[in-house]
Chains A and B, each alone.
Chain A
């Protein structure tokens, strides 16, 4: 059931960091870069979609309108999407639907965030019916505690070691060394990782991504519009990168993997487990839309909230068999120069997480990889790229780009 394509005509990012300024500023800077990259005037955009942030008050909940107002009202329709870490993919999908349904030709998608220092935490107030509030109150289950639970499974089931996890960080740190948008641009040694304090066993501070400020934006257009636009030679979209898939799937009952922010998994006592788990279904849905499979992928950006989680994604996206992720990492398959480099941007290890911008940042990076214009680590002759992430409360996010 492959789906019609739309074009990625422009991408832009505001550098990640801990700038402490208003998130709107990052989003606007990213949007302007994306419009310039596309060679499109804001007044020619027919639809704007914002990926929401929950940490910056009302303007964050209505991010689409916030960015539209900041760029200058033009009367176009708007949407704002929230799916936690998957927000960017949801906003992107809304833009794609507008274009594929013929309701507009050019859409702008923007996500940006300003994050506080330390653990991400729920909004204030007594909210005894909110599982995200209750997991902190009743358990003290932070996000890293969930990451650690999954990491421990790799150790127990597959014999993974802390050094395997460290190798993910070392690889991503090298990849991100020259990425001007990355917050951390420094080599990291195994010794430094081993010497960093344990946050939630087995994960140490340097296994877990930071939280950052940042912004990313994407200009999507119809294929017809892109071809006409490029023949008039505006913009820098050469070769033209296309969106072949956007997966925003939810889990299938019973979801028997412990998910953030839940207290328990679904029960498999009455209804048998689906053949493929939720994280696998995220990639499966993207592959099906694109009419492609894992063997076709040349480059990937996956959500390394923790080092160990990057390894889970290798298996969930079908880059290797279950339990083989450590081996393909050690063999250099996922390093620059390998068969399938993963997180050439440096990943969250180098960026830190700016939640609503992150899924879009993955798309920006893959666009540069496919064009061959990445400013940092550049894959050789990549034609197909896939992103993957997951937002808490059951949000899948995967985008496949081709050229």
Chain B
């Protein structure tokens, strides 16, 4: 029996993005949910739902939007040692993973995320194109807690790019 998939955090990403969102090859679709301040045109991630944080636009309407699922690698690192609680290591023994900060062109902001397993520091270069994929943060007996992750576009299986 397959496990239930639950987002590791509520309301920050969707596992059923709109049809015009590019589908990553060989991975379940995902899109970050942000909000846009309609008057200033600025974006917020994680989604700001109370009021616009752009000074002078406190009365502006905030609309929910899906953020771009591709961007350029702004910076990156890895976690050679297991991060402390409340981090939940998905494997025992711990396996180091990479972290990416990716700049989205339309939104002009940088978003962090873990990089998918199997990608090492040596595979990453600032400026390279990255795409958002759905991954597993950790699992318990009956639930898989999902999370957005980044991976280099070059790492995708060739062809079939939507």
Interface residues of A in 131-166 (CB under 8 A from B): 131, 133-142, 145, 148-150, 152-153, 156
Residues from chain B with a CB closer than 8 A to the CB of A152 are 75-77, 126
Taken together as a complex, chains A and B put the C-alpha atoms of A203 and B79 apart, in Å, by 11
Q: Is A324 in contact with chain B by the CB < 8 A criterion?
A: no
Asked whether, in the complex, the Cβ of B85 is within 8 Å of the Cβ of A145, the reply is no
**Contact between B75 and A199 (Cβ–Cβ < 8 Å)?**
no
Cβ distance A202 to chain B, nearest Cβ, rounded Å:
8
Is there an interface contact between A270 and B37, defined as CB atoms closer than 8 Å? yes
For window 244-279 of chain A, which residues contact chain B by CB distance below 8 Å?
253-254, 256, 258, 262-271
Chain B residues in 8 Å Cβ range of A138? 8-9, 137, 147
Q: How close is B54's CB to chain A, nearest CB, in angstroms? A: 5
Complex Cα–Cα for A253 and B97 (A): 32
**Shortest beta-carbon distance, B65 to chain A, in Å?**
11
A142 touches B83 (CB 8 A): yes
B3 lies within 8 A of chain A by Cβ:
no
Cβ of A337 under 8 Å from chain B: no
The number of chain B residues with a CB under 8 A from chain A is 45
* Interface size class of chain A, counting residues whose CB lies under 8 Å from the partner chain: 35 or more
Q: Does residue A122 face the partner (Cβ distance < 8 Å to B)?
A: yes
Q: Kindly state whether residue A57 has any CB partner on chain B within 8 Å.
A: no
User: A97 an interface residue at 8 Å Cβ cutoff?
Assistant: no
Contacts of B85 in A (CB 8 A): 121, 124, 136
| In contact, B110 and A264 (Cβ under 8 angstroms) | yes
**B64 in the interface (beta carbon within 8 A):** no
Q: Which of B9, B41, B111 is in CB contact (< 8 Å) with A134?
A: B9
A198 proximal to B (CB < 8 A): yes
Q: Is A118 among interface residues, defined by CB-CB distance under 8 A?
A: yes
Q: A258, B101: Cβ atoms under 8 Å?
A: yes
Q: Is A128 an interface residue (CB 8 A)?
A: yes
A145 CB → nearest B CB, Å = 5
Tell me whether B153 is interfacial, beta carbon within 8 Å: no
Q: Any chain A CB within 8 A of the CB of B5? A: no
Q: Is the CB of B112 within 8 A of A271?
A: no
**Complex partner residue of A263 from B84, B107, B112, CB under 8 angstroms:** B112
Residues of A within 8 A of B111 (CB): 263-264
Q: A140 and B46 in contact (CB under 8 A), knowing A258-B110, A264-B112?
A: no
A200 to B83, CA, bound (A): 11
Chain A residues near B8: list those with CB within 8 A. Answer: 137-138
Contact in complex: A136, B9 (CB < 8 Å): no
Residues of B within 8 A of A271 (CB): 40-42, 54
For the complex, give the distance between the alpha carbons of A265 and B42 in Å: 12
Residues of B near A22 (CB, < 8 A) are none
A319 to B107, CA, bound (A): 33
Q: Does residue A332 face the partner (Cβ distance < 8 Å to B)?
A: no
What residues of B have a CB within 8 angstroms of the CB of A265 in the complex?
Answer: 109-110
A153 to B147, CA, bound (A): 26
Bound-state CA distance A392–B99 (Å) is 19
Query: Are A269 and B9 closer than 8 Å at their CB atoms?
Result: no
Residues of B within 8 A of A150 (CB): 75
Given contact pairs A145-B83, A266-B42, enumerate 11 new A-B contacts (beta carbons under 8 Å).
Answer: A119-B81, A136-B87, A137-B87, A139-B99, A139-B112, A152-B75, A153-B75, A198-B80, A266-B53, A269-B42, A270-B41
Could you jot down 20 A-B contacts, CB within 8 Å? A119-B83, A121-B85, A138-B9, A138-B137, A139-B99, A140-B79, A142-B84, A152-B76, A156-B127, A199-B81, A254-B42, A256-B109, A258-B101, A263-B46, A264-B111, A266-B109, A267-B42, A269-B42, A269-B108, A270-B41
User: Interface residues, chain A, CB within 8 Å of chain B?
Assistant: 118-119, 121-122, 124, 126, 128, 131, 133-142, 145, 148-150, 152-153, 156, 197-203, 253-254, 256, 258, 262-271
